[in-house]
Amino acid sequence: MLKKSWIQIEASSDFSIYNIPFGVFELKNGKARCASAIGDLIIDLHEMQLLGFFDHLDLPDDVFNQRYLNPFIQLGKKITNRVRNRLIDLLDENNTALRQKKEWHQRVFIPMDEVTMLMPLDVPNYTDFYSSMYHAENVGKMFRDPDHALLPNWKHLPVAYHGRASSIIVSGVNIHRPKGQIKPSDAGPVFGESKKLDIEIEMAFVTNRNTAMGEAIPVEKAQEHIFGLMVFNDWSARDIQKWEYVPLGPFLGKNFASSVSPWIVTLEALEPFKVPLSPQQPAVLPYLEEKERFSYDIHLDAFIEHEKFNAFKITSTNYKYMYWTMAQQLAHHTVNGCNIEVGDLYASGTISGPEPDAYGSLLELSWGGKHDIDMPDGSKRTFLEDGDTVIIKGYSEHKGIRVGFGEVRTSILPAK
């Protein structure tokens, strides 16, 4: 029997009673509060706590009366799951504790379209992996050797680089086209606007504790330290990136912005959508070996919207197309004793499927700018134009249960 809520929820809603994600919204007085969501409503968690609904859950006072979710996330899964489960109970159609307190509903519930969602995390560190094999192969084929698309290390370790935390922004915050050094010909570099502005469709996970330097998180314990996932759009200026990245890797072609969806969906909410992954060949070193290998079936759709046309889907990919799992990524990240922090973001790397209609970047969809992508108004894209709005939506659906992430929406403004 499926659970039902006494709150009216559309079947297509990302925020079913099975989800109960966490985010932060702005109050009318400019202050911020932590929230959850159900259907079209935001749940003000601070008001819930003041009304006594979280008594006996071992929560510190004011843990939701905060600008960021970090203090809540840091309480650890035992407590954060208690809060989520309590909300699920209170919203269940058979529970009257909140349902009958109609006079409190205005304090607790706010229509989603009346609030602005804020960046929910104070992100201390951001790491970008490169863990989808189809994506790594596509890039290898385009830029190196089609017969040896993957570099020799790729199947032995989850390749990554350290990104920039300061420029991670939430859905709704727009970006200016970046400028930088570009080398369009053999004649030498020029300074100018990026002409190859691209998206990368990714998921990012959030860690829930600070570890000590020297401490490694074993692969089988990694899930305990992951609070949840967000949809992640890792902006890329391909022309800047191409000229600068040798020999030390991504820098100004990447660090001008990365965008996240406002809601963090917990691993517990994603449990019904686990999908097994096949064994890795060649076998990995023991510290990366997993008893159970799985990813999650999360559909990811990307759209371009423009004043001349409505949101137009350019690709659909899925988080199940991962070669390296989150557990392996975290185990590898810490195996040398690197400490992690509460609110760190670890992005998957661009997620591409095996077929061209499931590629996770314009670089791949246009195959290095060689193929045009037709837009509904007759215009064409290889990379993004000023005035384009990119929307990425993520959701899971299985046996009548739907759990979604909402969307990450960003418009491209002209260069400053």
Catalytic residues: 135
Nearer of residues 19 and 236 to Ca ion, judged by Cβ? 236
Segment contacting Ca ion (CB under 5 A): 152-160, 234-242, 353-361, 372-380?
A: 234-242
Rounded to a whole number of angstroms, the minimum distance from the CB of residue 128 to Ca ion is: 4
Cβ atoms of residues 167 and 198 within 8 Å: no
Nearer of residues 128 and 397 to Ca ion, judged by Cβ? 128
Contacts 24+ apart (CB under 8 A), 275-281: 275/320, 277/320, 277/322, 277/323, 277/325, 280/155, 280/323, 281/155
Nearer of residues 253 and 406 to Ca ion, judged by Cβ? 253
Near Ca ion by CB under 5 A: residue from 14, 193, 200, 397: 200
Residue 52 φ/ψ, nearest 5 degrees: 90, 5
Near Ca ion by CB under 5 A: residue from 44, 128, 244, 344: 128
Cβ atoms of residues 28 and 42 within 8 Å: no
Rounded to a whole number of angstroms, the minimum distance from the CB of residue 236 to Ca ion is: 7
Segment contacting Ca ion (CB under 5 A): 2-10, 20-28, 147-155, 226-234?
A: 226-234
> Could you tell me the two tokens for 179?
């400028």
Cβ atoms of residues 118 and 344 within 8 Å: no
* CA–centroid distance for 274 within its chain: 17
Nearer of residues 348 and 366 to Ca ion, judged by Cβ? 348
* CA–centroid distance for 120 within its chain: 12
Residues 6+ apart with CB under 8 A from 98: 53, 90, 91, 104, 105, 108
Rounded to a whole number of angstroms, the minimum distance from the CB of residue 130 to Ca ion is: 7
Residues 6+ apart with CB under 8 A from 127: 160, 161, 162, 163, 333, 344, 345, 346, 347
Cβ atoms of residues 121 and 344 within 8 Å: no
Largest CA distance in the chain: 74
Name the residue with the smallest CB distance to Ca ion.
Answer: 234
Nearer of residues 44 and 128 to Ca ion, judged by Cβ? 128
Segment contacting Ca ion (CB under 5 A): 124-132, 270-278, 394-402, 408-416?
A: 124-132
Number of residues that bind Ca ion (CB under 5 A): 3
> Could you tell me the two tokens for 378?
């007759």
Rounded to a whole number of angstroms, the minimum distance from the CB of residue 232 to Ca ion is: 8
Please report, for residues 100, 114, 346, the alpha-carbon distance to residue 95 in angstroms, rounded to integers and kept in the order given. 9, 27, 37
Segment contacting Ca ion (CB under 5 A): 25-33, 86-94, 208-216, 232-240?
A: 232-240
Nearer of residues 49 and 131 to Ca ion, judged by Cβ? 131
Rounded to a whole number of angstroms, the minimum distance from the CB of residue 152 to Ca ion is: 21
Nearer of residues 14 and 234 to Ca ion, judged by Cβ? 234
Cβ atoms of residues 104 and 48 within 8 Å: no
Segment contacting Ca ion (CB under 5 A): 16-24, 127-135, 324-332, 380-388?
A: 127-135
Nearer of residues 129 and 296 to Ca ion, judged by Cβ? 129
Segment contacting Ca ion (CB under 5 A): 44-52, 194-202, 328-336, 372-380?
A: 194-202
Near Ca ion by CB under 5 A: residue from 14, 193, 198, 234: 234
Rounded to a whole number of angstroms, the minimum distance from the CB of residue 350 to Ca ion is: 6
Residue 296 burial class via C-beta count within 10 angstroms: exposed 0-12, middle 13-18, buried 19 and up: buried
Residues 6+ apart with CB under 8 A from 141: 149
Rounded to a whole number of angstroms, the minimum distance from the CB of residue 348 to Ca ion is: 8
Rounded to a whole number of angstroms, the minimum distance from the CB of residue 291 to Ca ion is: 29
- CA 91, CA 72: separation in Å to the nearest integer? 21
- Residue 44 interacting with Ca ion (CB under 5 A): no
Using CB under 5 A as the criterion, which residues of the chain lie in contact with Ca ion when the complex forms? 128, 200, 234
